[in-house]
Structure 1
């Protein structure tokens, strides 16, 4: 009886295991052949891939160009393709050699020693032109092709702006459940504009040269190579940014040459409020997640740059008495600690020399008049809230060009408005005041335009493959009230005085090729380096030329000792280089 039970149990186990293996085989061969596992692996396609050799010409993902239609990340490079079956046939290597300036013996050696297609381009010393490609293909040699192959630009530019892509099958299926046509290896945007515009950039189909082989790598269907191309006239799309590649490269070089390793800059076209250049340091490195952050759209302590807001409020509320003098021998708390000796200064010269006591005094007087005066004026200057372009784009109600932008803040606690020392620290851009460099650049552009505030754009158009327009991002005004033209005019005068005053904090820029208007800032971070030295955020924000403003520029170096900061040097060099443009 026991023996029969054992045999019965064993039989049931064998039947269950056999049934499981049958189901698994059916799952592989019949049920989920085109969407296997959560990654959605196409088993049919993978089996075909094992029997093919291919040269990818274009992955089908959309591309980015600058405002002058110059590619920012990918390019199409003239290339020569040699398939390995050439070693088994007789072919005119001499004729090809004459066209590509590579010895025929070298061409024959290359195909003799490979099992995969060979692609030769400029990085291999093979310089080809459009004419060369045409003549190569006119030779009609089986397995020899002249193509424009998609390549990544060697010297990367605007990395934090453009962003990176990566493979993540689970995220792909979660974001695009209706796109079953996408391979689980399809790359999706991870950061920057690649992430923001990912849905528009997804590939429709790859363009490639395809060649079938058997298990030993020999021709399966003769020496015919198939050219597989996307026939869709609309995709892939091109995202036309507002970046000027030449200016972007200059900006990146200047920051590197001035040894700014933590910080960056934002350059806006004042007329259009478009980003011409934006650089964030440290440089983007995929292997270190901490470098993926674009610090130019993240709030930082602004220091005395924030005195621009207090000045605007003082003007709007009638506290800018030209005859009034402030005792600038006192510190921000109104104490004579011996650290200041600027004497009695007017409102204007207090701004030029960045006297703390003047602005802490004005801040307290403003709050007595209106508890919301400071944040209201900051809003009028286009400084707080989300200032990047947003609006309706197809099925998106609020599409954002800067989805990772973080809004600035002024008060961490409303009760601080009744605490004298909290007001003092807020007035000079400390305590809970945090503003992004892009927002500060927007404030400078707003002042330069006479008080009109706009959203910041970094993409102007999305273009179809055939060059027609898919979508245009029109200029949007920021909601809310503006500062008065009079206030804007007075702020322009104050910002210019920072440079022209013999003791102004921006007097270095008196020798700039353009007349510069701006404001410096030194913000305590509460951190020290390993030597015990205090670390600061060092700013200079302004616009130029002063009499006919074209550019708004903000430069910030984070967590630096005051003596080693390269902020002013970067600003100066940028002005000099833009004068050449």
Structure 2
């Protein structure tokens, strides 16, 4: 009996021992980097327990402006101190003399430190090249002057560039075949998301030293520099943004209290984004929730009378722009008396300059009789209804899009509306179901300024390797689809200029600006109310200088009351700012 019991216990012990051995082998040999369902990297965790480190560069690729300036981050020459200095007799006076930081401040910072740190972080004191050289020449263990990468407190064009975050499940979903730490940052919006695969880090650059359980140096005071040492990565994504223009644009948007809206500024020559501002701003405390993360310049909006540019193009091509024909602008679009905007009898050109709804409602109905699809066809010719952002094949990615979350515009939602004269009339003045993104409206103005030539909009010109050589080029690219003729574009140019030159034009405020402006205003009823007041979308879209176009600009303020706006003042100040820079 006792032999059987002993044998049973022996078997149980052997089984337990085998299970223990199997578990140890799983931990030590087979799943060292992907342990458990959470894919814990045991090697990394064990190293972290016995080391302290200061990350100099997280290894993720960088965004540059068109001149090569870093946009989301900046590199700062800083003084780095290690906490083991509190246990050493180091020459604090010399470091103080060179850096200009008091001995008391340095000692206090080291005494309270538990990890290596850049002095003054998150607002570090920047050292000069001479100071860096002299500090490093002291050869004091645990004292370094290095160039460290910091995230900017205020990132320009934040919604356009986008945000990053940690998401282990999404990381695994996107890159199932890549071996990446679950703490790897990934893009969750904007260009950070569109270009995420290019921006993934090869590894971090960091200063490391080994410690015991109490945080004391384990192998002396030698600090190790760890770097992926790859001459090609991380890459730099060179955008077409001009950082100076972008910052001034953001300042002006805030000056005129645009709480929901913003602006788009395009370089007409190569059809690239120079500045893009979206409000509301990203909520720094909770960036991934709320409306601030959305880029409203890429979202479809009710555009109002700006759409009359499309109706005008169709009317010109179908000979409905007879200069001798007069429209009764003393009446509303429905035929009732117009008490507030009674302009009397106006011809086609004056109707456009003064933005007479009656004229363009009638023209839209006449165009519908010719062909119910005409308004949509001309909206497409002027790039309002499709995507306008650069897209194409890049490496193994087919149909890569720079603006991954760009909305498409529209004119009608149903065939019934398309064939209904009343819907056509309301659509002719940019109401009803007519929608377009501010980016598409800016592109329409750029196309007209170029004589009808349509191009895709770029916000990235190329991706560069770390050593400065080009990895991917994003060349100028024609926008697919039909376009308006040079003749029609010329006629539209004159109409848009008349908006400013006409003494009663809706753009007469821009007549005395340093650049000659051509453009179109828009005020759209949104169907929303606040305190019983109808809310509007206020627009001004145009280009300048008129004779030699360089810039297309759209300013928009969304969901404001009739007496609010700011878009004209914002547009005017942007023109002044650009004239001063040129």
Q: Which position in structure 2 is the counterpart of 1:172?
A: 171
1:565 aligns with 2:581: no
Q: Secondary structure at the match of 1:292?
A: coil
1:107 aligns with 2:111: no
Contact 2:207 2:223 in 1 (8 A): yes
Measure the CA separation in 2 of the matches of 1:51 and 1:237. 31
Displacement, 1:137?
Answer: 1.3
Q: Which position in structure 2 is the counterpart of 1:292?
A: 293
Q: Secondary structure at the match of 1:313?
A: helix
Q: Which position in structure 1 is the counterpart of 2:481?
A: 480
Displacement, 1:13?
Answer: 11
User: How many residues are paired up?
Assistant: 572
Q: Which position in structure 2 is the counterpart of 1:374?
A: 375
- Give me the TM-score of the superposition, normalised by structure 1: 0.94
The 5-angstrom pairing of residues 497-512 of structure 1 reads 497-512=498-513
Greater CA deviation, 261-270 or 114-123?
Answer: 114-123
Q: Which position in structure 1 is the counterpart of 2:42?
A: 43
Q: Secondary structure at the match of 1:290?
A: coil
Displacement, 1:108?
Answer: 3.1
What's the C-alpha RMSD, in Å, of the aligned pairs?
2.2
Greater CA deviation, 463-472 or 76-85?
Answer: 76-85
Measure the CA separation in 2 of the matches of 1:520 and 1:556. 10
Q: Deviation per CA, 1:508-531: give whole Å up to 9, x if none.
A: 1112221111111111111101x1
Q: Which position in structure 1 is the counterpart of 2:432?
A: 431
- Structure 2: runs of 5 or more not aligned: 1-7
- Give me the TM-score of the superposition, normalised by structure 2: 0.94
Contact 1:122 1:128 in 2 (8 A): no
Displacement, 1:23?
Answer: 5.6
Contact 1:382 1:454 in 2 (8 A): no
1:119 aligns with 2:118: yes
Contact 2:202 2:228 in 1 (8 A): yes
The 5-angstrom pairing of residues 216-365 of structure 1 reads 216-285=214-283, 286=287, 288-336=289-337, 338-365=339-366
Q: Secondary structure at the match of 1:562?
A: coil
Measure the CA separation in 1 of the matches of 2:194 and 2:546. 35
Measure the CA separation in 1 of the matches of 2:426 and 2:14. 78
Q: Deviation per CA, 1:205-224: give whole Å up to 9, x if none.
A: 11000000011111111111
- Which of 183, 186, 191 matches 2:184? 186
Measure the CA separation in 2 of the matches of 1:128 and 1:250. 28
Greater CA deviation, 98-107 or 264-273?
Answer: 98-107
Contact 1:28 1:36 in 2 (8 A): yes
Contact 2:329 2:338 in 1 (8 A): no
Measure the CA separation in 2 of the matches of 1:127 and 1:166. 28
Measure the CA separation in 2 of the matches of 1:399 and 1:195. 12
Distance change in 2, residues 1:112/1:337 (3 Å): closer
Displacement, 1:24?
Answer: 5.1
Measure the CA separation in 2 of the matches of 1:274 and 1:360. 34
Q: Secondary structure at the match of 2:193?
A: helix
Q: Deviation per CA, 1:7-57: give whole Å up to 9, x if none.
A: xx9999999999877765554344322112344221111011011111110
Contact 1:379 1:385 in 2 (8 A): yes
The 5-angstrom pairing of residues 93-172 of structure 1 reads 93-121=92-120, 126-172=125-171
- Structure 1: runs of 5 or more not aligned: 1-8
Q: Secondary structure at the match of 1:511?
A: coil
Q: Secondary structure at the match of 2:361?
A: helix
Q: Which position in structure 1 is the counterpart of 2:67?
A: 68
Q: Secondary structure at the match of 2:511?
A: helix
Q: Which position in structure 2 is the counterpart of 1:545?
A: 545
